[in-house]
Structure 1
Amino acid sequence: MRQASRGSKLLLCALAAASFSASALAQSWPHSTVTVVVPWPPGGPSDIAARPIAKRLTEDLGQPFVIDNRGGGGGNIGSAVVARAHPDGNTLLITSSAPIVINPSLYKKMPFDPAKELTPITNLLRVPLVLVANPAVPANNLKELMAYIQSKKGDFSYASAGSGTPQHMTGELFKSVTHLDMTHVPYKGSAPAISDLLGGHVPIMFDSMIAIMPHIKSGKVKAIAISGDKRSPLLPDVPTFAESGLPQVVSYAWYGFFAPAGTPKPIIDKINAETLKAMKAPEFQRILADTGSDYVGDTPENFAKFVKEESVKWSKVVKESGATVD
């Protein structure tokens, strides 16, 4: 009995020491430069979330948070760098949803497993997508557009910012729900897709409000419907897909904060708390308002649950559409 009691005490002491060590580690973190990988080229929507967050964390925590843009592979290359990084809180990831919840179903071979190799910290923002049309398209609402697409008998295309992007998958969700025959035309980013839309080379596209808003305001494209669950204050006259008769079409481009799996929980919790504080600051609130985004700061646990739900949703869309990039 004494031996068992002594063993129990030793175990409790070891657990207490480990707990104290993790807590002390979190208190001292960060003790050097923190690299925040954005797995997309500079200037993209992920940067809109990443750069103000990194700036504020630098100011509040007293160590540099440096953005490292590593584009390529639909976001897989930069994300894999973080997945393989030492889990000490010094290498983090801010990315759109694609490499986390879309690519695992879209790519036959992934360089990392987001469900096993990354730990969710918090959602940073979510922005609805807008279905827009070139002014020459003879439709001013979703019902008219669907009738027009049907009349083309397969001779119709839609553009997106690239294969596997939320823009592409929202188009596939729309196709799946409506059973319309459309050809996907992927581009390398929103800018060239928008350019061809404005030039009349493609008739419609799905894009985030962040990228397409200036062209809607200038009248160069027509906004047909928005993919959020409610109308946007920036586009109060544009109905949702649900209001237009397609309640199944709800989609957001969202951007999240992740760390390598195995990062100590106290560090994850500290990053979460400091990030939520940064998100409530006036600078980030202005970004949300300017881009039509929702505030979605959350606990790591709730964000992890949301990521799992999104993975199931987009896996189904990929399977039904037959989409692939391989």
Structure 2
Amino acid sequence: MSNPKLSRRDLIKWGLAAAPCSLVQPVFAQAVLPKGPITLVVPFAAGGATDVVSRLVAQKLSERIAHSVVVENVAGGGGAIGAAKVAKAAADGSVLLMGTVATHAINPLSTPPAPYDAQRDFAPISLVATVPNVLLVSASVKAQNVRELIAMLKAAPGKFSYGSSGVGTPPHLSGELFKSMAGVDIGHIPYKGGGPAMTDLVGGHIPILFDVLTGAASHIRAGSARALAVTTSKRSASFPDIPTLAEAGVPGFETYTWNAIFGPSKLPQPLVDLLSTELQAVVAQQDVQAKLKDLSATPVGSTSEALASMVKTELDKWGTVIKSIGGLKRD
């Protein structure tokens, strides 16, 4: 296990200057962690992919730091309510957030804006995993690959539409980015979730669907939906035969859903460093990697600096897409 960077002043502060090296990590950890349990806020309902990932991470992190980590679901507002709760929480490490592209890119750029600033109001800790979105077509679509699909759409502008799990969701914005980068004219049909959208795709009521790979996986394996490409820069380990959109005909295309841990903005740096180090170690565990891959997620585990950089990149990317469609207005 690697230790957070500790100066001699830090060691003296915690009374560890003369302690054996093997004792520094556990004693230091208990010194900087909150006295009570850590609550990991999941800004969506229980049972979803983010909730499953969060409970896995909470259990493993608790084991590593010998400190209770409990999950609390605070759903609503597309993730904004739970995220706002953490943004306003005490900066002592007692409340953390399992953030997503929705809480830290899409919601802050929507109309009306989220009740927090995605960069100013949070301390980035570690990116846990990324999950591809996937471009699917129904059995009635003759195109067998992305290039054939683009040619088909360009030959009949405005004739075809694609479905998504709703306005402002990552699949919706993946579809809008595809329209822009591929130069095609297709309409958008929003659904109240990925399930109803997939039902209509399988039933032949819509020809094209952008979905989260986690939700689409069983249909792809069953052959009821045909996947043409994933949206990440690299192929998914769970579906290595499905090409990326970038290699299949839309160079430079990259979108994904992600899960990352954040704290309130003024979280002490020693605590940020400790949690980031431990979360990276959690994600590196073989059983955690296996579970994440079962969910069609790509395990990451990152530094706080890398997560901060990614959030900025996501805001810049999605800001351009959302502006191009005149903003996002939620009911």
Q: TM-score range by the shorter chain?
A: 0.7 to 0.9
**C-alpha separation in 1, matches of 2:202 and 2:159:** 19
Q: For 1:198, give the aligned amino acid.
A: V
**C-alpha separation in 1, matches of 2:325 and 2:139:** 28
**C-alpha separation in 1, matches of 2:113 and 2:311:** 20
**C-alpha separation in 2, matches of 1:198 and 1:313:** 31
Contact 1:38 1:47 in 2 (8 A): yes
Q: What SS is found at the alignment partner of 1:242? A: helix
Q: What SS is found at the alignment partner of 1:121? A: strand
- Give the C-alpha shift of residue 122 in structure 1: 0.6
Q: 1:323 to 1:185 in 2, by over 3 A?
A: farther
What is the identity percentage for the equivalent residue pairs of Structure 1 and Structure 2? 39
- Give the C-alpha shift of residue 175 in structure 1: 0.8
1:34 has 2:35 as partner = no
**Alignment partner, residue 237 of structure 2:** 233
Alignment of 1:113-262 (within 5 A): 113-262=117-266
**C-alpha separation in 1, matches of 2:186 and 2:13:** 58
**Alignment partner, residue 24 of structure 2:** none
1:49-92 C-alpha deviation (Å, 9 max, x unpaired): 21110111222333332211122211111111111111110111
1:76 has 2:75 as partner = no
**Alignment partner, residue 268 of structure 1:** 272
1:164-190 C-alpha deviation (Å, 9 max, x unpaired): 222111111101112222222222332
1:44 has 2:37 as partner = no
Deviates more, 1:270-279 or 1:217-226: 270-279
Q: For 2:199, give the aligned amino acid.
A: S
Which sections of structure 2, spanning at least 5 residues, go unmatched? 1-8, 17-26
Contact 1:83 1:114 in 2 (8 A): no
**Alignment partner, residue 314 of structure 1:** 318
1:225-277 C-alpha deviation (Å, 9 max, x unpaired): 12122323332332221222211311121111100110111111111122112
Contact 2:29 2:65 in 1 (8 A): no
Contact 2:135 2:208 in 1 (8 A): yes
Contact 1:25 1:267 in 2 (8 A): no
Please say which structure displays the higher CA radius of gyration: 1
**Alignment partner, residue 289 of structure 2:** 285
Q: Alpha carbon RMSD of aligned pairs, Å?
A: 2.3
- Out of 100, 103, 117, the residue aligned to residue 99 of structure 1 is 103
1:58 has 2:62 as partner = yes
Q: 1:323 to 1:157 in 2, by over 3 A?
A: farther
Q: What SS is found at the alignment partner of 2:97? A: strand
Q: For 2:112, give the aligned amino acid.
A: K
Q: 1:133 to 1:66 in 2, by over 3 A?
A: same
**C-alpha separation in 2, matches of 1:193 and 1:95:** 25
Deviates more, 1:260-269 or 1:186-195: 186-195
**Alignment partner, residue 20 of structure 1:** 13
Q: For 2:211, give the aligned amino acid.
A: D
Contact 1:197 1:203 in 2 (8 A): yes
Contact 1:176 1:321 in 2 (8 A): no
Q: For 2:13, give the aligned amino acid.
A: F
**C-alpha separation in 2, matches of 1:210 and 1:95:** 17
- Out of 299, 303, 306, the residue aligned to residue 299 of structure 1 is 303
**C-alpha separation in 1, matches of 2:176 and 2:327:** 8
Q: What SS is found at the alignment partner of 2:119? A: helix
**C-alpha separation in 1, matches of 2:201 and 2:284:** 36
**Alignment partner, residue 13 of structure 1:** none
**C-alpha separation in 1, matches of 2:113 and 2:240:** 42
Contact 2:293 2:299 in 1 (8 A): no
Under a length normalisation based on structure 2, what TM-score does the superposition of the two structures give?
0.87
Which sections of structure 1, spanning at least 5 residues, go unmatched? 1-15
Contact 1:31 1:63 in 2 (8 A): no
1:100-145 C-alpha deviation (Å, 9 max, x unpaired): 0122222233211111111110100012221011112222111222
Q: What SS is found at the alignment partner of 1:184? A: strand
Under a length normalisation based on structure 1, what TM-score does the superposition of the two structures give?
0.88
- Give the C-alpha shift of residue 25 in structure 1: 8.3
